[in-house]
Amino acid sequence: MLKIVEKIVNKFKNKKLYESRLSTVNFTLATRPSNASKKLIWVLPALRYPCGGNIVGHNYVDAINAMHYLGYSAEVLYSQEPSFQPTLFKYHSPLKTDLTADPKKEFFVIPEVFALSNTASLIENNIPYAISVLNGYLIDMEINMGFGDFDALERVYEKAAFIISVSEDTTANIKLAFPKCADKIINAPYVIDKAKLAPVSEKQNVITYMPRKLPRHSQLVLLLLGNKLPKHWQVMPIDGVSEQEVYDIFTRTKIFLSFSEFEGLAMPPVMAALSGNLVIGYTGEGNKEYFHLSCFEEVMQGDVKDFVDKLLKAVARFDQNQYEIDMQAVEFLKNKFSDQALNVFLKEMLDHVDHALK
């Protein structure tokens, strides 16, 4: 099994990661046929590495198209690179490949990381939009990149038809930064449906982590861990692999190390827990919504010595057959990240969209 995991995690080891360069996006007005259906356009960044936020966006679009609620359809737009097509996860979403917009037929959902660069022409042309905040700690990203100041960002949020928030912590950040927007926040779940729960007895003694998350922290944990792990245990990185391959890895492993930093509501720890892994590490603040469950052990951010201590104690419990998967915790996560919860949110959101387009 270790050779299988090694093959997966090394598949993209030397692949150059790419993030699209940000620039101002200008949408131009267009008029659709009178009988054209109303459409929701979900804008995403063109990233050539696995990104939970992009997977979530595609899942939303696919679910809307399957629902046919109020006659709406949906498309994904990679506004910084309209010809972009993702390759590291499977999707069925139709892609919008131009920057035209009909304010009577189309509603745009803009990610928090594009709130300044993508909205000026929408506001100027009275094209309705919402802001989707998957990470409440990235709200200021474009301020730091020189696209505008706080006043400009506040104006963008206040002019949005509504604001989508993925977690309680994210909602708290939005309310604190933009108190006038408190009443227009909609809470959004996402779905994790590919996790396969495997009994501990069928798993291998493998500990995984994602080195792109707080790399200095994981380096220090591995340094302090040294050669203290029993010889029949192995630590393996997960880097640059597809969504399905991450699920496949978690099905076979026992422990996942979470190095979340200022997250909205991170997917990998949930994916790992739903696959029967014990998750040890940082909450990233947003993940506090589920870290109270028995399959999670919190480490205060930066306390790498406690990280190593908790990891070694967990390994000892596994070796002594003292760890059992908490099925109540698994069911809690299944319900929280379920299709049912998603459909309730999407209908509420489309009701708001429909009101904005009238």
Residues 6+ apart with CB under 8 A from 190: 56, 59, 60, 166, 265, 267, 337, 342
Same-domain check for residues 308 and 350? no
Arithmetic mean of pLDDT, 173-185: 98
Look at residue 145 and tell me if it is in a domain: yes
Tokens of 235: 């630590």
Look at residue 152 and tell me if it is in a domain: yes
Look at residue 3 and tell me if it is in a domain: no
Look at residue 8 and tell me if it is in a domain: no
Read off the pTM: 0.85
Q: Report how many domains make up the chain.
A: 2
Query: What CATH number is associated with residue 82?
Result: 3.40.50.2000
Angle at 110 between CA 166 and CA 246, to 5 degrees: 55
Look at residue 138 and tell me if it is in a domain: yes
Rounded mean pLDDT of the chain?
A: 90
Asked if 134 and 112 count as a contact pair (C-beta separation under 8 A), the reply is yes
Same-domain check for residues 228 and 216? yes
Asked if 50 and 238 count as a contact pair (C-beta separation under 8 A), the reply is no
Same-domain check for residues 305 and 345? no
Higher pLDDT, 314 or 191: 314
State the burial class of residue 58 (Cβ atoms within 10 Å of its Cβ: 0-12, 13-18, 19+): buried
Tokens of 117: 């660069």
Same-domain check for residues 105 and 245? no
Look at residue 135 and tell me if it is in a domain: yes
Same-domain check for residues 216 and 116? no
Structural domain for 157, as ranges: 18-191+338-357
pLDDT digits (tens, 9 = 90+) for 61-91: 999 999 999 999 999 999 999 999 887 777 8
pLDDT digits (tens, 9 = 90+) for 83-97: 998 877 778 899 999
Look at residue 331 and tell me if it is in a domain: yes
Same-domain check for residues 236 and 89? no
Same-domain check for residues 43 and 141? yes
Arithmetic mean of pLDDT, 167-175: 96
Look at residue 127 and tell me if it is in a domain: yes
Q: What share of the chain is helix, strand, coil (3-state, %, to 5)?
A: 40, 15, 45
Read off the pLDDT band of 121 (50, 70, 90). very high
pLDDT digits (tens, 9 = 90+) for 211-263: 989 999 999 999 999 999 999 999 999 988 888 899 899 999 999 999 998 98
Percent of the chain with pLDDT over 90: 74
